[in-house]
Structure 1
Amino acid sequence: MATIDMPQVRDCAVRACAYNQTGCHAFAITVGSSERAHCETFVDGPVKGGVATLTAQVGACKRADCRHNDDLVCHASSITVGPDLDAADCLTYEPVKL
């Protein structure tokens, strides 16, 4: 079985997220919704979560219209998450030009 290196979340500017503690420490995040490149792993709350020794990776990306997406797998070298249309969006998202 072949494995691929998943892109890391290089930076997350969403300080309200429970996984963001000087970087995203979720095991992996999911990006995408039918409307935008939202970080669906975003958790707004006072309890902090994640694994301090890990840097999050993109586990799944549902934005097939992104130039970094091939077969719903992100192939960017890394991504940045921050506020855009929502509190936590993938700022690396680039729509394919048709």
Structure 2
Amino acid sequence: MTVTMPAVSECTVLGCSYNDHSGCHAFAITVSGADSSADCGTFIPLGVKGGLDRVVTQVGACSRTDCVHNANLECSADAVRIGAGAGSHVANCLTYSTS
């Protein structure tokens, strides 16, 4: 069985070490969080840039079982967007939805 993981189509969290010109350069991200937020668990707030030069970042895992795109802890969305969340949540999966 071949599974295609959704790409991270956009990341607007400029304070993340993996962000370069609104593109995520991590090999894969993990979506986590609690309550009403779906945090990007891969967010690293350092001044040093990291990641890979040529990569199409994917959602490697999603622990938000209440999301409509979650199927057996894998994301089934076509693509996800990462951006600032509400309050103290710096990096959220903006594609997260419970309805």
Task: Report the TM-score, using the length of structure 2 for normalisation.
Answer: 0.92
Separation (CA, whole Å) in 2 of partners of 1:19 and 1:78: 18
The alignment status of 1:6 with 2:9, answered yes or no, reads: no
- Secondary structure of residue in 2 paired with 1:30: strand
The runs of at least 4 aligned residues of structure 1 exceeding 4 Å deviation read: none
Structure 1 unpaired stretches of 5+: none
Equivalent pairs counted in the alignment come to 95
* Corresponding residue for residue 21 of structure 1: 20
Q: 1:83 Cα shift? A: 0.5
- Secondary structure of residue in 2 paired with 1:59: strand
* Corresponding residue for residue 44 of structure 2: 43
- Percent of aligned positions that are identical: 47
Structure 2 unpaired stretches of 5+: none
- Secondary structure of residue in 1 paired with 2:39: coil
1:38-75 deviation line (CA, Å, top 9, x unaligned): 00000001110000100210000000000000111100
Separation (CA, whole Å) in 1 of partners of 2:33 and 2:15: 20
The alignment status of 1:91 with 2:90, answered yes or no, reads: no
* Corresponding residue for residue 58 of structure 1: 59
Q: 1:3 Cα shift? A: 2.1
Instruction: Choose between structure 1 and 2: higher strand proportion.
Output: 2
* Corresponding residue for residue 31 of structure 2: 31
Task: Report the TM-score, using the length of structure 1 for normalisation.
Answer: 0.93
Q: 1:34 Cα shift? A: 2.7
